[in-house]
Amino acid sequence: MVVYKICLKVIRLAYLAFDLMLKICYNCLDNKKVYLARVGFPTLDFLMGGVIVNKKELMKKLVKMCDESARSLDYELEDVEYVKESGSYYLRVYIDKKAGITLDDCQSMSELLGEKLDKEDPIENAYYLEVSSPGLDRPLKNDRDLKRNLGKDIEISLYKPLENKKKFEGNLKFFTEDKIVIKINDDEMEIPRDAISVIKLALKF
């Protein structure tokens, strides 16, 4: 029991030490300007299987925090992702503005959001915070994304074949709550939104 308590104290001290080590680096990946910061470290309760945070509630809180930070800097919040990849957790925040996002914008957003995250500490485990501009290959997930890209060529992937095809490419004409309408050559096609798995901009090379 004594050895167990000593080990717990050693682990706790180790993570406190790590918490003082913030690593900040800049990367440019796939035409996206990225500001990457190492923030947050696992608490002992998390490592020992203590508190389990409801991810849906966590995401609501994270989106609210990100949106507030973006608005205060006159940016638009495009998307928020919290994922685990190769054993590490990532909080990815995508922002945009009419003039386009610069690396300095990503840094400003990351610093402001990082302060809020440190203060409120909503995430139990260690994670990386990434702030970037939305890439051209980013999925169009909501009505705001679709509205911004009206008149552009998009690529739609379906869960199941429609007219023996699972992928369609055409010009985005309009959309409703239930359907997406695209123009393929001279014909318009209606696709039910609940049949769509992914919508992306059609990249032309």
Instruction: Assign residue 71 the CATH number of its domain.
Output: 3.30.300.70
Which segments of 30-143 are extended strands (E)? 32-39, 76-85, 88-96, 127-132
Q: 151 and 188 share a domain?
A: yes
Q: 18 and 110 share a domain?
A: yes
CA distance 53 to 69: 23
Is pLDDT of 138 > 70?
A: yes
What average pLDDT score do residues 143-159 get?
Answer: 92
Which letter does DSSP use for residue 98 in this model? T
Its domain, for residue 148, covers 143-201
* pLDDT 10s digits, 65-95: 999 999 999 999 988 999 999 999 999 999 9
Q: Residue 112 in contact with residue 149, Cβ under 8 Å?
A: no
87: in domain: yes
Q: Residue 113 in contact with residue 128, Cβ under 8 Å?
A: no
Q: 147 and 107 share a domain?
A: no
Q: How many domains does the chain have?
A: 2
